[in-house]
Amino acid sequence: MRSSVLPSLLTAMVAAGCLGGVDDLGLAAPPLAQVQGRVDLAAVLPLANGAPLRAALVWGAVPNYSLGCLMYRANPELAAACPDPFSFVPGSVESEAEISLAGDGSFQLPIRRLPPAGVAVGDETTRISWGSVIVAADSNGNGLFDLLDLNTGKGPRHQLADRVVAASFQTLEAPQQRVTFREGGYDAQSTFYPALGCAPPPAGFSLLFTALPGPAQACGSVSLSHWIEPIPVGETQARRLACSSLDTTRVREPDQAPNLTGAEPPKVLCLDAQTLALVYPGECPRITFLPLKGCGGWPLCRNPEWDRTNSLPEWWPCGK
């Protein structure tokens, strides 16, 4: 009797690895959450010019808005290049899906990763990420939603590849449907896409909606099982929603003459006798401010890092 136990056990083990099994590195992971969206095809197809439509969940970046744009907003050429301080700035594309033009405009976007650190704002215990569901025409047909990123060199240099046709979160000044990921506490005083008057969103993924900026009853949070319906966007806003440029404005000391040669030289704007701006052309314009007296945080300089007011650079064109 005892002698038959070992062979039987060995036979069983040989017949099959048992106990349910283990995994290798090919183990698939279910989505962390899923976004369900629907877009009005009749409204957006004319904007797409026949290109296939793609939907994407895009996490919002920290807007980089220079106070120089506010100080010199009366300059029309500068104002045209300055970003809208209330606009959603795309940071990173999390998930994409093609929208069937033969269907009802619905789509699903699985979320497989947490928002990257660059778009999660807060401290060690309190972080928030805001996302917009953006529908774009895949104009270059590469099967991706291409953001124009001037910082990394990804995407075409100065020309948007894809045209945004709808977004669920376009600007703080319009109704919004934000995909939210909250970790830890919630800072209602944060200026990172503030949801004024809204109750704190729940921890984890959720959907925050606002009918209009304003009273608390106009906004709230629901689970991601609710449908998100991006709304069509105009030409100007479409351009902003595709410009992933965290560094669109810079400040530097006017120690060297700007390079005005090259294929697309910047436009030189004398904002006043002591302030020069270089506006680099393109659909996602960049601005470099060169104040004679200033610092990296110009114009808020307690202790200026440079002062060239008494020793004007030879090439300085303003105030002459």
Nearer to another protein, 182 or 293 (CB): 182
Q: Tell me the DSSP string of 298-317.
A: TT--SS-SEE-TTS--TT--
- At its nearest, how many Å lie between another protein and the CB of residue 26? 6
Give 120 or 134: the residue with its C-beta nearer to another protein: 120
Q: Nearest distance from residue 127's CB to another protein, in Å? A: 9
**Considering beta carbons, is residue 120 or 318 the nearer one to another protein?**
120
Buried b (16+ CB within 10 A) or exposed e, 140-159: eeeebbbbbbbeeeebeebe
Of 24 and 235, which CB lies nearer to another protein in the complex structure? 24
Listed residue (248, 241, 242, 237) closest to 288, CA to CA = 248
- Report in angstroms how near the CB of residue 22 gets to another protein at its nearest: 4
- In the complex, the residues that contact another protein under the rule CB under 8 A are 9-10, 13-14, 16-30, 32-33, 112, 114, 181-184, 203-205
Q: Which residues of 54-74 are buried (b: 16+ CB within 10 A; e: fewer)?
A: bbbbbbbbebebbebbebbee
Residue among 61, 105, 98, 72 nearest 242 (CA): 61
- Least distance from another protein to the Cβ atom of residue 184, Å: 7
Identity of the residue, 25 or 74, whose beta carbon is nearer to another protein in the bound complex:
25
* Minimum distance of another protein from residue 31's CB (angstroms): 10
